[in-house]
Structure 1
Amino acid sequence: MCGNNMSAPLPAIVPAARKATAAVIFLHGLGDTGHGWAEAMAGIRTPHVKYICPHAPVMPVSLNMNMAMPSWFDIIGLSPEAEEDETGIKKAAESIKALIDQEVKNGIPSDRIILGGFSQGGALSLYTALTTHQKLAGVVALSCWLPLRNSLSQCHGEADPLVPLMFGRLTVEKLKTLLNPANITFKTYPRMPHSACPEEMLDIKQFIEKQLPPVN
């Protein structure tokens, strides 16, 4: 991968099969790229929806002995009390808000945009959605947590060894204090580790189709 640490390649995009009237912006997890999730979204695509899977910039990650890898922000530790990279999280959120703004300029209203992500990407999608001035159609947060929760739809595998299910449950309880609890769905998947499964992808597809119906 070339370029400096401040830049990342252009997002992987699954274009709409017809005129795009809605969009899904989905953020990958630590050390990954947007390509795998673009393939996953292509497998559940809806004809009028454009899927955008950006790539995180490469940076040293404290948790992984300062090895450089694609990361939305630095991760210092995995415990609920671990110090957080507040500056990095806020900067990353601004870059995602800029992506949302770009789609609005392209003619897709913000309330026809779903933001989502897996693990670190899910954490960033939750934080961005809760701090943006744009009204979004919804959030798909997979196997993740809510960063900077003290200054401030979630899915989780019950057998997740990296981001424990407890983090998902705590996140949902926090979200219920910030949002209308009726708008929050928390689903768990037995025996699913830190990954996605076909049942979860089907649930994502149904959520997208419900929140982003075709425009007549």
Structure 2
Amino acid sequence: MAPGSNNVVIDAKDGNHTATIIFLHGLGDTGHGWAETFAAIKPSYCKLICPTAPAQPVTLNAGMIMPSWFDLMTLTHNGPEDAEGIAKASQSIIKIIEEEMSKHNIPAERILLGGFSQGGALSLHTGLRYSKPLAGILAFSCWLPLHKDYPDAFVQGNKEVPVLQCHGEADPLVPKMWGNMTADILKGFLKTFEFKVYRGMGHSSCNEELRDAAAFISKSLPPL
């Protein structure tokens, strides 16, 4: 299974696999970082896949090699972006989506994609541009990559894909301003979009956010 060798997979209970959640970690983390958290809130019929990004040099961190979905060059919203790396990472996630479809007979509309920070950015990029509408996109503490490409880059067939974007009011790494700008873009063309901000939360998660995520997952992936 792409993209890394340390992907975490938690199967649905009792073989009742009717939906899949794919959640992408942030910079420097692995698939293990969010697996336990999402295993606790996912419905029993959902399979959970938490892939691990490949290790590669990150310009923003002085070229240090670490798990990273794509290169990060700057912390400014109008700075240069690794368009080639973003496209490559997106294809690796699409391979996972399509493997669920082809090998496990899970249709795209029963696959929910999400992520935190850099992983959240990749989930937005991939889900909004994918050729088939997904069940939903869950975007934690992130931004919209290549934002200048929108709305032209948006696949019109995905306008009804629900998106829940969450951000900490006190995030020092991905400032809430980035979240605000992303929300301003997304609400312009998405039919079902919600942006939730959590008071006092930094670049992390909180119980309230996870409760909202659990409700979003249950609504987007109801039992069959």
Measured in 2, the distance between the counterparts of 1:107 and 1:32 equals 30
Number of equivalent positions:
208
Measured in 2, the distance between the counterparts of 1:163 and 1:8 equals 25
Give the corresponding residue for 1:195.
Answer: 204
Structure 2 counterpart of 1:112, one-letter code? R
Shift in Å, 1:192 = 0.4
Measured in 1, the distance between the counterparts of 2:21 and 2:179 equals 22
Measured in 1, the distance between the counterparts of 2:58 and 2:112 equals 28
Give the corresponding residue for 2:173.
Answer: 162
Point out where structure 2 has 5 or more consecutive residues left out of the alignment: 151-163
Give the corresponding residue for 1:51.
Answer: 48
1:153-190 per-position Cα deviation (integer Å, ceiling 9, x unaligned)? 2100000000000111110111122322xx00110110
Measured in 2, the distance between the counterparts of 1:40 and 1:210 equals 19
Q: How has the CA–CA distance of structure 1 residues 10 and 102 changed in structure 2, closer, same or farther, with 3 Å as cutoff?
A: farther
Measured in 2, the distance between the counterparts of 1:176 and 1:186 equals 9
**1:89 partnered with 2:86:** yes
**1:208 partnered with 2:217:** yes
Measured in 1, the distance between the counterparts of 2:94 and 2:196 equals 26
SS of match in other structure, 1:213: coil
1:14–1:41 CA contact under 8 A, matched in 2: no
Structure 2 counterpart of 1:60, one-letter code? P
SS of match in other structure, 1:185: strand
The match for 2:188 among 177, 197, 202 is 177
Give the corresponding residue for 2:124.
Answer: 126
Give the corresponding residue for 1:3.
Answer: none
Measured in 1, the distance between the counterparts of 2:107 and 2:171 equals 35
Shift in Å, 1:7 = 6.2
TM-score (ref. length: structure 1): 0.94
1:118–1:142 CA contact under 8 A, matched in 2: yes
Measured in 1, the distance between the counterparts of 2:59 and 2:184 equals 28
Structure 2 counterpart of 1:205, one-letter code? A
1:113–1:138 CA contact under 8 A, matched in 2: yes
Q: How has the CA–CA distance of structure 1 residues 121 and 64 changed in structure 2, closer, same or farther, with 3 Å as cutoff?
A: same
Measured in 1, the distance between the counterparts of 2:205 and 2:92 equals 25
Point out where structure 1 has 5 or more consecutive residues left out of the alignment: 1-5
**1:38 partnered with 2:35:** yes
TM-score (ref. length: structure 2): 0.90
Measured in 1, the distance between the counterparts of 2:196 and 2:10 equals 26
2:6–2:31 CA contact under 8 A, matched in 1: no
The percentage of counterpart residues that share the same residue type is: 52
Question: Root-mean-square deviation (CA), in Å?
Answer: 1.2
2:42–2:217 CA contact under 8 A, matched in 1: no
Structure 2 counterpart of 1:131, one-letter code? R
